[in-house]
Amino acid sequence: NTMDLRQIKISDEDFGVLGYDPGFLNTASCKSRITYIDGDKGILRYRGYPIEQLAEKSSFLETGYLLIKGELPDKERLAEWTYNIRNHTMTHSNIIKFMDGFRYDAHPMGILVGTVGALSTFYSDAKDINSEESRKLQVRRLIGKIPTLAAMSFRHSLGFPYVLPDNELSYTANFLSMMFKMTEHHYEPNPILEHALDVLFILHADHEQNCSTNAVRAVGSSGVDPYTAIAAGCAALYGPLHGGANEAVIHMLLKIGSIDKIPDFIKSVKEGEGRLMGFGHRVYKNYDPRAKIIKDIAFQVFEETGRSPLLDIALELERIALEDEYFINRKLYPNVDFYSGLIYQAMGFPLDMFPVLFAIGRIPGWLAQWTEHVKDSEQKIARPRQIYLGEAERNFVPIDLRP
């Protein structure tokens, strides 16, 4: 009520109502020209282009260019952009020492948060955030180096030697090579799996003011370099409510175990004993457009890798849920995470790499949003207010006199 809203300022000079909006459900923190979502209609567009068209016709690097620069590139610009990013895939050799310092069982997402943040100490020119040239350079470095750090974190956990980037390969093929190459010989990934992962990266590339993007903007608003701001995005993505839902879907499917157990599971969800993971979304009150595309990709991937029994459980679970009044009335549809984990698992990624894959895909979005924020003259340091509910002023009591 109004009294709650006005508790901070109740003097005559009170400027008026202070919004109280936990979780920012009704607060726009910025004006943006990057991503458009209509949650009721199930629409997602990057710079005006429907996600379905980008998934079908674009590549991850081209979509990254679009997000960051605002327009699709011509052939020459795309070639230059690709060349520049491929030439920034190596990391300083001290990063390897840093990587080696992590415990053998360190979570790869924790490693990513640490190493992305550490990059800031290697590039002192990154502090110059108001220089367009410097910003461009850091953008290329970050997009180039994230897959290298991600693959290193995976191989560190296995105790395998790191694989150097192969800049003859495409961006996504190079990442797969750094992950899975086991011999000295040239590594060529399965083109269907390479394409599927590239499309998954496109689908994750931006999603307006989600938790991690908000973190990038908020930390970036202090004027810090982009490596540190992006490390904050990685940190936000590490949380189970944001980057961890697709892993939770796998655990749920494993727990259900077989198709005949689905009705009992649905019944328990309806009785409030847990949620149907990979279903529902804060913004989409319709089928998540990314989930539709991912479902098609899942079939393509399983054609190559062999069908996981979990896919059949997922399909039946979706079919039953979409016909059930509980889910219909609450507008609960599959979201991006319902099938993505199954695809990653079929490709050979362990569960703890799932949020890392999300981070690789999200990097152009974070960078586009960070760049837009830095250039936005209306922006200030992110500094919300609070509604203070603590004690009024009181006098300090010496420890011997305390009750």
Binders of ligand ACO among residues 66 to 105 (CB under 6 A) are: none
Kindly state whether residue 119 participates in binding ligand ACO, applying the rule CB under 6 A.
no
CB of 254 to ligand ACO, least distance (A): 16
Given 288, 337, 352, 373, the catalytic residue: 337
Residues facing residue 319 across a β-bridge: none
Q: Quick one: 215 or 245, whose CB is closer to ligand ACO?
A: 245
Kindly state whether residue 337 participates in binding ligand ACO, applying the rule CB under 6 A.
yes
Q: Is 38 a catalytic residue?
A: no
Residue 16's alpha-carbon distances to 1, 7, 11, 30, 174, in angstroms, are 13, 10, 10, 22, 56
Kindly state whether residue 365 participates in binding ligand ACO, applying the rule CB under 6 A.
no
Using DSSP's 3-state secondary structure scheme, residue 35 falls into strand
Kindly state whether residue 62 participates in binding ligand ACO, applying the rule CB under 6 A.
no
CB of 201 to ligand ACO, least distance (A): 14
Kindly state whether residue 276 participates in binding ligand ACO, applying the rule CB under 6 A.
yes
- Taking CB under 6 A as the binding criterion, the range among 79-87, 279-287, 293-301, 305-313 that sits at the site for ligand ACO is 279-287
Q: Cα separation of 64 and 314, whole Å? A: 31
Residue 288 corresponds to which amino acid? D
Kindly state whether residue 44 participates in binding ligand ACO, applying the rule CB under 6 A.
no
Instruction: Give Dmax (Cα) for the chain.
Output: 78
Q: Cα separation of 349 and 253, whole Å? A: 17
Q: Is 400 a catalytic residue?
A: no
Kindly state whether residue 275 participates in binding ligand ACO, applying the rule CB under 6 A.
yes
In whole angstroms, how large is the CA radius of gyration of the chain? 23
Tell which phi-psi region holds residue 220, choosing left (phi > 0), alpha (psi between -120 and 50) or beta. alpha
Residue in 151, 237, 336, 356 binding ligand ACO, rule: CB under 6 A = 336
Residue of minimal Cβ distance to ligand ACO: 280
- Taking CB under 6 A as the binding criterion, the range among 1-9, 79-87, 260-268, 330-338 that sits at the site for ligand ACO is 330-338
Q: Quick one: 189 or 364, whose CB is closer to ligand ACO?
A: 364
Q: Quick one: 163 or 200, whose CB is closer to ligand ACO?
A: 200
Q: Cα separation of 24 and 194, whole Å? A: 37
Kindly state whether residue 282 participates in binding ligand ACO, applying the rule CB under 6 A.
yes
Q: Cα separation of 338 and 277, whole Å? A: 7
- Report the residue count for the chain: 403
Q: Are 312 and 258 a contacting pair, CB within 8 Å?
A: no
Residue in 64, 114, 117, 280 binding ligand ACO, rule: CB under 6 A = 280
Kindly state whether residue 332 participates in binding ligand ACO, applying the rule CB under 6 A.
yes
Kindly state whether residue 281 participates in binding ligand ACO, applying the rule CB under 6 A.
yes
Given 225, 281, 352, 373, the catalytic residue: 281
Q: Quick one: 145 or 281, whose CB is closer to ligand ACO?
A: 281
- Taking CB under 6 A as the binding criterion, the range among 77-85, 132-140, 271-279, 311-319 that sits at the site for ligand ACO is 271-279
CB of 4 to ligand ACO, least distance (A): 22
Kindly state whether residue 247 participates in binding ligand ACO, applying the rule CB under 6 A.
no
Q: Quick one: 176 or 291, whose CB is closer to ligand ACO?
A: 291
The Cβ of residue 13 has, within 10 Å, a number of other Cβ atoms equal to 5
The Cβ of residue 101 has, within 10 Å, a number of other Cβ atoms equal to 10
Using DSSP's 3-state secondary structure scheme, residue 45 falls into strand
Contacts of 30 (CB under 8 A, 6+ apart): 209, 217, 372, 373, 376, 379
The string over 235-274, giving b where at least 16 C-beta atoms fall within 10 Å of a residue's C-beta and e elsewhere, is: bbbbeeeebbbbbbbbebbeebeeeeebeebbeebeeeee
Ordered strands of the 35-38 beta sheet: 35-38, 43-46, 49-50
CB of 275 to ligand ACO, least distance (A): 4
- Taking CB under 6 A as the binding criterion, the range among 101-109, 150-158, 230-238, 334-342 that sits at the site for ligand ACO is 334-342
Nearest to 201 by CA among 143, 248, 161, 156: 143
Residue in 277, 293, 347, 353 binding ligand ACO, rule: CB under 6 A = 277
Q: Which residues are catalytic?
A: 281, 337
* Binding site residues, ligand ACO, CB under 6 A: 242, 245, 269, 275-282, 330, 332, 335-337
